Amino acid sequence: MSIVTVASDSWSRGAEVARKAAQALDYRLLADDEVLAEAARRHGVRENRLRQALFEPPSLLGMSRARRQRNIAYLQATLADALLEDRAVYHGPFGHLLLPGVAHVIRVRVTADQQARLELARSRDGLPASRARRSLRQEERQRRFWTAELCRLDTDAAELYDLVINTTNLDVAQVVQQIVEAAGNRRFAPTTYSRERLAQLALETRVRAALVNIDPGVRVRAEQGQVTVQTVAPQARAQRRTAQIQEQASSVDGVTSVQVEVVPDRLSDIARSMR
Amino acid sequence: MKPSILLIDDEPLVGKRLKPSLEKAGYEVETFEDPEAALKRAAERNFDVVVTDMRMEGVTGMDVLNAALARDAKTRVIIITAYATMELAREALSKGAFEVLAKPFSPRDLRDAIGRATAARGKAAS
Q: What is A214-273's CATH number, 3.90.25, 3.30.30, 2.60.40, 3.30.1340?
A: 3.30.1340
Give chain B's mean pLDDT.
93
Is A182 a residue whose pLDDT tops 70? yes
Interface with chain B: mutation pick from A102, A151, A192, A198, highest number of B CBs within 10 Å = A192
Report the candidate in A12, A207, A187 with the shortest Cα–Cα distance to residue A91.
A12
The answer to whether the Cβ–Cβ distance between A185 and B94 falls below 8 Å is yes
Q: Which of A153-167, A236-250, B83-97 has the lowest mean pLDDT?
A: A153-167
* CA neighbours closer than 13 Å in the CB half-sphere of residue B35: 21
User: In B, which residues are within 8 Å of A5 by CB distance?
Assistant: none
pLDDT at A273 over 70: no
pLDDT digits (tens, 9 = 90+) for A237-268: 899 999 999 999 999 999 999 999 999 877 66
For position A143, what pLDDT does the model report?
78
pLDDT surpassing 70 at residue A167 = yes
Percentage of chain B modeled with pLDDT above 90:
84
Q: How many helices (H) and strands (E) would you count in chain B? A: 5, 5
CA of B42, closest CA in chain A: separation in Å? 24
Which chain B positions have a beta carbon within 8 Å of A185's beta carbon?
94
Contact criterion met (CB < 8 Å) for B90 and A187:
yes
Q: What is the mean pLDDT of residues A76-92?
A: 91
In this predicted structure, the answer to whether residue B88 has a pLDDT above a threshold of 90 is: yes
Write down the pLDDT at residue A98.
Answer: 81
A60 versus A146: which is more confidently predicted?
A: A146
- Report the residue of chain A nearest B83, measured CA to CA: A193
pLDDT of residue A151: 66
3-state helix/strand/coil string of chain A: CCEEEEEECCCCCHHHHHHHHHHHHCCEEEEHHHHHHHHHHHHCCCHHHHHHHHHCCCCCCCCCHHHHHHHHHHHHHHHHHHCCCCCEEEECCCHHHHCCCCCCEEEEEEECCHHHHHHHHHHHHCCCHHHHHHHHHHHHHHHHHHHHHHHCCCCCCHHHCCEEEECCCCCHHHHHHHHHHHHCCHHHCCCHHHHHHHHHHHHHHHHHHHHCCCCCCCEEEEECCEEEEEEEECHHHHHHHHHHHHHHHHCCCCCCEEEEEEEECHHHHHHHHCC
* Percent of chain A whose pLDDT exceeds 90: 61
Q: Taking CB atoms and an 8 Å limit, are A192 and B89 in contact across chains?
A: no
Q: Chain B: residue nearest A188 by CA? A: B90
CATH 3.40.50.300 range(s) for chain A read 3-188
**Closest residue in chain B to residue A100, using alpha carbons only:** B86
The domains of chain B are located at 4-119
For CATH 3.30.1340, the residue range(s) in chain A are: 214-273
Q: Does domain A3-188 have CATH number 3.40.50.300?
A: yes
CA angle A192, A195, A198 (to 5 degrees): 150
Q: Do B91 and A189 make contact, defined as CB atoms within 8 angstroms?
A: no
- Name the more confident of A144 and A218: A218
pLDDT at A144 over 90: no
User: Average pLDDT, stretch A71-91?
Assistant: 91
Which CATH architecture group holds B4-119? 3-Layer(aba) Sandwich (3.40)
